[in-house]
Amino acid sequence: MATPECSRKIVLASRASELAQVQTVNVRDALAELHPDIRFETSFMATSGDKNQSQSLYLVGGKAFWTKELEAAMLEGSVDLLVHCFKDVPTVLPEGCEIAGVLEREDPLDCLIMKQGLPYKTLEDLPDGSVIGTSSVRRVAQLKRSFPKLVFKDCRGNLNTRLAKLDAPDSPFTAIVLAKAGMVRLGWGSRITCDLGPPTAFHAVAQGALAIEIRSNDEQARALCRSITHWQTEWSCLAERACLRVLEGGCSVPVGVYTALVEEPTEEGARKAKLQITGCVTSLEGDEHVEHSIEAHVHTAEEGEAIGVKLAQVLIETGARQILDDISTDREKRIQWAQENNERVGV
């Protein structure tokens, strides 16, 4: 692909965590390799999600918790591209912003990490009452289905912080659950005890993928992003996000997915793929669970998104709406209690 004309430097920005910085440098290097005549720089900042490390994600609002400060900097022109874990990006973006690039997905599964020195290899091995750390209401809801005798406790922080909490001598945690992709990108794959996948655990929407956000009117930035986009990952993630957009209403909800997209032969210059997508919604206690799968042939990203919308509609019609309404009521009650008692509430 020809290098887009660009006389200015391009500044890539992200959160300041070690993982976010590694991911941003990877994107910068991918762009620089294809466009050696352009100067790429990086910038890092703390977001609301980084500053508030005590309150449960379940109660603090939508995913803009991780992105709004970055988007403000981009819209005012101090940075040009935002690099995100795609799972942290709201399904509805602020006016003037868009996702222009998606890199090839790392393994999207969750993984179990046991405290150092313990002999256990799987969740099935753990004694009743073992404490599992996670900041995800989705993970808690799904794992309670299969492991009702385990205890789940909120565990916030970046990967370094959560691993330190796990391994501390006075740690309450027997194990923690994290996204496998982050561990792999940081070179910490040896700490992974085992993967957690379907049917026990369905991963978060767009987990394992990196997304690049731009100003909608920045054609040069869009061309750069398209040059490193992995369309198979993009189609899969957009289908998943379309499903979540219908279900979530902007809040943290226990929605899990698993997607397979297989490219099929077609005429030169055209694209065609078989999309298999499964979605599920699980109640907070794990006692109710709605799951459905759709398989379809798609020729565009928009067709994939339509399949994601259809999946959400089937889930709603088969019981997800009541589960989500109950979760919304629970969240409101917890927030009200916390406000009345001047306390922060965990999952």
Helix (H, G, I), strand (E, B) or coil at 211: strand
Beta sheet of 255-263, edge-to-edge order: 255-263, 273-282, 289-298
The answer to whether 35 touches 3, Cβ cutoff 8 Å, is yes
Helix (H, G, I), strand (E, B) or coil at 105: coil
The answer to whether 90 touches 62, Cβ cutoff 8 Å, is yes
Query: Would you call 88 a catalytic residue per the annotation?
Result: yes
Q: E-assigned strands of the chain?
A: 10-15, 40-45, 81-85, 97-102, 110-114, 131-133, 151-153, 175-179, 194-196, 210-215, 255-263, 273-282, 289-298
Q: Which of 29, 37, 50, 88 is the catalytic position? A: 88
- Helix/strand number for the chain, H first, E second: 10, 13
**Among 266, 204, 214, which residue's Cα sits nearest to residue 237?**
204
For the annotated catalytic residues, the residue numbers are 88
